Structure 1
Amino acid sequence: MQIDAILFDKDGTLFDFATTWETFACALMMKLAEGDHTRAAQLGEVIGFDLHARRYHPDSIVIAGTPAEIVEVLAPSIPGMTKPELIDMLNHEASKAPQAEAVPLIPFLDHLRGQGIKLGVATNDAEAPARVHLGGAGVQDRFDFIAGSDSGHGAKPEPGQLLAFATYVDVAPEHVAMVGDSTHDLIAGRAAGMRTVGVLTGPAPVQELAPHADVVLNNIGEIPAWLGL
């Protein structure tokens, strides 16, 4: 198996999903509800989030959806704001959400780069908050390619972001590994003709990821051993 490039999902893959996005949902719902806890809980249910338990439902649009998709679901409940205004608020709150690295990212990424592997990020988050998150962890410059759902390549589970990465780093898709915590990531990887690696640092259990993955790992820190590096 020859892997010359690795493309990572961001949330639930490079960063622990719950730490970031549960805090984000609480802050966003309270802001939209102007501090009314009952109203905030109602809005949370619209996007599949239990405000009181601070937990997403398994089918929540936030888990793998784009900001535009989240706003489509949320907008009918917020008649006083336009969709562009909601997207701006969502992206602003997302950029402030705390990040918990799945593993210490700087040594992990530097090890892969030291082996000559090209690295990229493809997220259904918007590109701007994604760059804020990666920059906050001090790793933005470790990636050759960063794309969000608004970067012009489409969004997962479509393979556009993945094929754009392969073209950008000049590596054939069959020599690229797509790493992610959701079926959207893995379905996109299969559609692009890449190897697919599932990780268990997001909401999806192993039995959900396994049918779409060449391998399911506990976290990205196990990738070097999988590659024999």
Structure 2
Amino acid sequence: MPAPLGSGAAQDFGKGPHVISGIIFDKDGTLFDFNATWGAWTRAMLIAEAGDDPILCERLAAVLGYDMENARFLPGSVVIASTVEEVADAILGVVPATDKDALLARMNAGSMKVAQVEAVPLRAYVAQLRQIGLTLGVVTNDAETPALRHLEGAGIRADFAFVAGYDSGFGAKPGPGQLHGFCRATGLAPDACIMVGDSTHDLHAGRAAGMMTIAVLTGPAPRAELEGLADVVLRDIGEIPAWLQRERLIPG
């Protein structure tokens, strides 16, 4: 069940028909289930980076907040909301002899091949949102090239009017630069948009940009960590259309 509304922002926005015109999604943990997508891949990546050294591998797992036994990220993991470069820096703190550019190249090349586990069936979902009349965007702290590849793999790249990674020139979350970029690209005002994500970085970015925020629980962060920053906490993105209708933020 959704959590109660936080600051009352939804009631303030929902005074007329179709006051929400744009929805911006985080990618990992929001459009795609975080642990289901990245859990097993990260285990293999850490083993490879550690050179099959089990002690070094455990040290890498600890610094990244990763449970090797269960192939899952722990709440508070640096990986949840950080950029690829920040994750690489964490790895380099354990294996400093590794070349950063080479590490980033391996991480980006590997991530593009990872099968993404959709939080909900995405083709039908984004088609529903566009039929409502919403303009869609994706902002991620992943690099832009893997992000585009993942959207293309899901068959939904063309449904998004704006896609930005941390390296797209808008900065990274929790800063609002990517969200401002969406507004400039689409002509929508921030108060006509919602930021949807699974981490505090997503929600801080949305608040800083002057947008409503929706938190989802398809990432490692628990409800208690998210609900103070969100207008609502939902199980997954599939619950958003019904919530928008209940709050009179769209027609119907």
Shorter chain as denominator, the TM-score bin is: over 0.9
SS of residue paired to 1:119: strand
- Is 1:223–2:240 an aligned residue pair? yes
**The structure with more radius of gyration:** 2
In the other structure, the counterpart of 2:42 is 25
Partner deviation per Cα, 1:97-154 (whole Å, 9 max, x = no partner): 2211111101110111112211000001111111111111111111111101111111
Q: 1:208 to 1:79 in 2, by over 3 A?
A: closer
SS of residue paired to 1:196: strand
SS of residue paired to 1:109: helix
SS of residue paired to 1:97: coil
CA distance in structure 2 between the partners assigned to 1:76 and 1:181 by the alignment: 26
After TM superposition, the structure 1 = structure 2 runs for residues 49-64 of structure 1, keeping only pairs within 5 Å, are 49-64=66-81
Which ranges in structure 2 are unaligned for 5 or more consecutive residues?
1-13, 246-251
Residue of 65, 72, 86 corresponding to 2:82: 65
Which ranges in structure 1 are unaligned for 5 or more consecutive residues?
none
In the other structure, the counterpart of 1:6 is 23
- Is 1:197–2:210 an aligned residue pair? no
In the other structure, the counterpart of 2:203 is 186
CA distance in structure 2 between the partners assigned to 1:219 and 1:77 by the alignment: 35
- Is 1:41–2:91 an aligned residue pair? no
TM-superposed CA distance for 1:77, in Å, is 2.3
CA distance in structure 2 between the partners assigned to 1:24 and 1:165 by the alignment: 31
Equivalenced residue count is: 229
CA distance in structure 2 between the partners assigned to 1:95 and 1:26 by the alignment: 16
In the other structure, the counterpart of 1:133 is 150
SS of residue paired to 1:178: strand
In the other structure, the counterpart of 1:158 is 175
Q: Which has the higher contact order (CA 8 A, sep 6+)?
A: 2
Moved more, 88-97 or 183-192: 88-97
SS of residue paired to 2:29: coil
Query: Contact between 2:162 and 2:185, CA under 8 Å: does it hold in 1?
Result: yes
Query: Contact between 2:214 and 2:231, CA under 8 Å: does it hold in 1?
Result: yes
Overall identity of the aligned pairs, in %:
50
TM-superposed CA distance for 1:193, in Å, is 0.2
Residue of 107, 110, 119 corresponding to 1:90: 107
**CA RMSD, aligned part only?**
1.3
Residue of 112, 125, 131 corresponding to 1:108: 125
In the other structure, the counterpart of 1:79 is 96
Query: Contact between 1:23 and 1:97, CA under 8 Å: does it hold in 2?
Result: no
Query: Contact between 1:123 and 1:148, CA under 8 Å: does it hold in 2?
Result: yes
Q: TM-score, normalised by structure 1?
A: 0.95
SS of residue paired to 2:80: helix
